[in-house]
Amino acid sequence: MLNQATIEIIKSTVPVLEVHGTAITKRFYEMLFTSHPELLNIFNHANQRQGKQSGALANAVYAAAANIDQLENILPVVKQIAHKHRALGIKPEHYPIVGENLLKAIKDVLGDAATDDIINAWADAYGVIADAFIGVEADMYAQTAAQPGGWDGFRKFVVTRKDQESSAISSFYLKPADGQAIAAFLPGQYITVRATVKGRTNTHLRHYSLSDAPNSDYYRITVKREAGNDAQPAGVVSNYLHDQVHEGDVLEISAPAGDFTLDPAVPSQAPVVLISGGVGLTPTISMLNTLVGKQPERPVTFIHAAIHSGFHALRDHVKDIAEQHPQVTSYVCYESPLAGDTCDHTGYIDLQWLQSVLPEETARTADFYFCGPTPFMKTVLQALKQNGVAADRIHYEFFGPAGSLEA
């Protein structure tokens, strides 16, 4: 436990972190990878270059400082991050390395303003925060390995099938190379692929949502090729999967993880609204497939937005489900339809259109799950709030480091 003097010092640094947090975490990663280049085998290099990782860490540090006397307030965030740490293979021995470099970065950025009292207080606070993460992650490691079909670390899976779903999206069906059982998962969870890419020095780890219902003898991931542009580099692993991985090849993956989930074992008659943009449909497809199998009486509205039909994956699959299950209603939105495209809405999803397709009763009683590019999710979240949807009925997933949709 922290003494009151330490708590007061940490809380006094909250305004400083609000201003300098991203600069501190950016410097932290520079120092970390200089002193421990082996950790580049764990971290996503693209997120580093784009500043996503440093921004997410800054938010986490800020939240920890603001709640240092009531860390239970950030337990949901701890658990969310812990899921990713377990999937990546972060272990207790990594935490002292992180702590040492974080304190150095604070001192380096703040200079003389980072007094010995502040550094010592943050050292004590980091120890408490690290212990919270280590404890949560230890439970996750144990539960994951002990469950039927579970395992620790990375396991070899064979690509038994590869389907082209759209011009930029492919599905990969994965079965364990050892022929043994695989762990169950909740719809919405992801697996982590560890790739060794020719011409690249480090291994690369990426999370990919499972895109089919659980309780099968395979996992399926549906991956968009990230071609890259002036603002964003090409995706190393997504291009590797599309160009170099074929049926019969072997991938290493960690067991399913993630807290953006729909649990079909929890009885409910509440309607479900699934909203996705682009490849954000991967977790919502898993939820849809699960709902029609496990809760076939539950009303489901499936809304998907894409640029046009050329980028729309699994459209026929969703259409078939809607035709076979009268409780499922499906809507398609295209930003820029091609000649001959048919859709229910042209342009972007907005409040007015959502209100036109969702009855007032649905908006009041439904559980909403959505995923997609960050600008898309910001728009959806704002529309749901304006439409009176309660906060505890809104669930969403970031691809990559968690950010904020409130800005």
DSSP state of 237: H
Which two structure tokens, joined as six digits, stand for 112? 């003389």
**Pairwise CA distance, residues 216 & 283, whole Å:** 16
Question: Does residue 62 have an active-site annotation?
Answer: no
The pLDDT value given to residue 377: 93
- Asked if residue 264 lies in contact with residue 294, where contact means CB atoms within 8 angstroms, the answer is yes
**pLDDT single digits (tens) 288-331:** 999 999 999 999 999 999 999 999 999 999 999 999 999 999 99
DSSP state of 210: B
**Pairwise CA distance, residues 176 & 124, whole Å:** 44
Q: Which of 62, 95, 126, 331 is catalytic?
A: 95
Model confidence, pTM: 0.91
- Of 124, 123, 87, 78, residue with least CA distance to 104: 123
- Asked if residue 330 lies in contact with residue 187, where contact means CB atoms within 8 angstroms, the answer is no
On whether 260 is known to bind a ligand per the annotation, the reply is no
Residue 18 has pLDDT above 70, yes or no: yes
Q: Identify the H or E element spanning 273.
A: strand 272-277
- Asked if residue 191 lies in contact with residue 87, where contact means CB atoms within 8 angstroms, the answer is yes
- Asked if residue 356 lies in contact with residue 257, where contact means CB atoms within 8 angstroms, the answer is no
- Asked if residue 130 lies in contact with residue 99, where contact means CB atoms within 8 angstroms, the answer is yes
Question: Does residue 137 have an active-site annotation?
Answer: yes
On whether 280 is known to bind a ligand per the annotation, the reply is yes
On whether 345 is known to bind a ligand per the annotation, the reply is no
Least confident of 53-57, 159-163, 325-329, 349-353: 53-57
Give just the sign of the alpha carbon dihedral 385, 391, 395, 401. Answer: positive
- Asked if residue 157 lies in contact with residue 251, where contact means CB atoms within 8 angstroms, the answer is yes
Which two structure tokens, joined as six digits, stand for 354? 């959502």
**pLDDT single digits (tens) 33-52:** 999 999 888 876 655 555 55
Q: Which of 62, 126, 137, 165 is catalytic?
A: 137
Higher pLDDT, 266 or 4: 4
Residue 285 has pLDDT above 90, yes or no: yes
**Pairwise CA distance, residues 128 & 326, whole Å:** 52
Which two structure tokens, joined as six digits, stand for 275? 């909203």
CA separation, residue 59 to residues 52, 77, 131, 264, 402 (Å): 11, 10, 19, 32, 9
Amino acid at 24: I
On whether 283 is known to bind a ligand per the annotation, the reply is yes
The pLDDT value given to residue 405: 59
**pLDDT single digits (tens) 111-163:** 999 999 999 999 999 999 999 899 999 999 999 999 999 999 999 999 999 99
**Mean pLDDT within 84-91:** 93
- Of 396, 331, 397, 390, residue with least CA distance to 362: 390
**Pairwise CA distance, residues 38 & 33, whole Å:** 8
Phi-psi region at 169: left, alpha or beta (left = phi > 0; alpha = psi -120 to 50) = beta
Which two structure tokens, joined as six digits, stand for 45? 């290099």
DSSP secondary structure letters along 127-191 = HHHHHHHHHHHHHHHHHHHHSTT--SSEEEEEEEEEEE-SSSEEEEEEEETT--------TT-EE
**Pairwise CA distance, residues 140 & 147, whole Å:** 11
User: Which distant-in-sequence residues (6+ apart) come within 8 Å of 308 by Cβ?
Assistant: 334, 335, 336, 337, 338, 341
Q: What domains lie within the chain, and their CATH numbers?
A: 4-146 (1.10.490.10), 154-257 (2.40.30.10), 272-397 (3.40.50.80)
**Pairwise CA distance, residues 303 & 331, whole Å:** 5
On whether 190 is known to bind a ligand per the annotation, the reply is yes
Q: What is the mean pLDDT of the chain?
A: 91
